[in-house]
Amino acid sequence: MSIVQFSKALADGTRARLMAVLARHELNVRELTEALRLPQSSVSHHLRILAEAGLAEARRDGLWAFYRATASGPAAEYLRCLAPFLDAPDFATDLGAAARVLAARREAARRFFDAHAPDWPAMLRSVLGDTDLARAVRERLPACTDGAGQPRPCATAADLGCGAGQLLPVLHERAENVIGVDHSRAMLARARETLGDAPWASLRVGELEHLPLRDAEADLALVCMALHHLPEPPLGVAEAARVLAPGGHLLIADFDKHGDETLRERHGDHWLGFSRAELAAFCEASGLFIAAEDTLALPGGLTLRFMTARKP
């Protein structure tokens, strides 16, 4: 595609509005319709033109398609040059509406986990079967290293999306202090019941896309079975990278890409897992280097994907 074709595709007010939103967020047609207050037919029509021009791309997730600005190649370079214009006040209303759509996603997830906190261990077993998740995580937790890759004591580990806290003791085997973060107060209450008055544990309420941790506060971070609940998984990984100290490691454990739509309703899943390429892209975009990866088959037919990434 040439600059003329890119510019021709954007030479429309509606498509410019769409592009401003897609440059910031990944949304489906229904969400874009809500944010831009346009008929679905109009949104679909203009998305098709942007996609044909190479400026927008769709990511399939089960029965849904989520649209975003093209992330690589000439189209991405073109959009980077336009970034100051796509951030213009003209699009502030649309960007605010899109942010509210994502906030509604987060609120729906929080309500789901608050409601299901009492029976969450049983719900997790319904997916994992007899798989020992704590053992699987323990076997894959990396040693703490400094910025030069040399071993060093691990002062602080963080479980980001800790839920009922069942993996916090596993992290304590590696680190002197452990921070557990979750957006559900009910889940954190369960975690406190599990931990009792353990002096090494600190539980914090917060979103994974806006973590209540300082820059470089953690030597080791875990995001286990949480990314598929996030409205914006790449932002969650970027935040995990932010709170890691130089040389720190992030271990991600989540479903491999699958097609079980029932998990959206039964378990509040927003995304149906992630491919190896998707997780690697999240990490690399956040400045992390892939250090190790493998998979673990689950009894019900799903697969857990593990990826360890290191902050230089």
| Helical packing angle, 13-22 and 3-10, nearest 10° | 100
Whichever domain contains 27, its CATH number is 1.10.10.10
List C-alpha distances in Å: 60 to 11, 204, 259, 273.
Answer: 27, 33, 10, 11
pLDDT tens per residue across span 207-244: 999 999 999 999 999 999 999 999 999 999 999 999 99
**Dihedral angle over CA of 92, 94, 99, 105, nearest 10:** 170
Range of the domain at 44: 3-87
Average pLDDT over residues 43-59: 97
Closest CA to 136 of 128, 147, 144: 128
191 and 197 Cβ atoms separated by less than 8 Å:
no
Which structure tokens are listed for 148? 């030069």
* DSSP letter for each residue of 24-54: T--EEHHHHHHHHT--HHHHHHHHHHHHHTT
Q: Are residues 68 and 149 in the same domain?
A: no
Q: What is the pLDDT of residue 1?
A: 65
Q: Are residues 142 and 270 in the same domain?
A: yes
Number of domains in the chain: 2
Question: Backbone phi, then psi, for 4, in 5-degree steps?
Answer: -65, -45
Whether 16 is covered by a domain: the verdict is yes
Q: Are residues 274 and 197 in the same domain?
A: yes
Q: Are residues 80 and 123 in the same domain?
A: no
**If you search the block for the tokens 């890409």, which residue do you land on?**
257
Q: Are residues 79 and 226 in the same domain?
A: no
Using CA atoms, how far apart are residues 233 and 37, in angstroms rounded to an integer? 25
pLDDT tens per residue across span 93-119: 999 999 999 999 999 999 999 999 998
Q: Are residues 255 and 126 in the same domain?
A: yes
> Which pTM value belongs to this model?
0.90
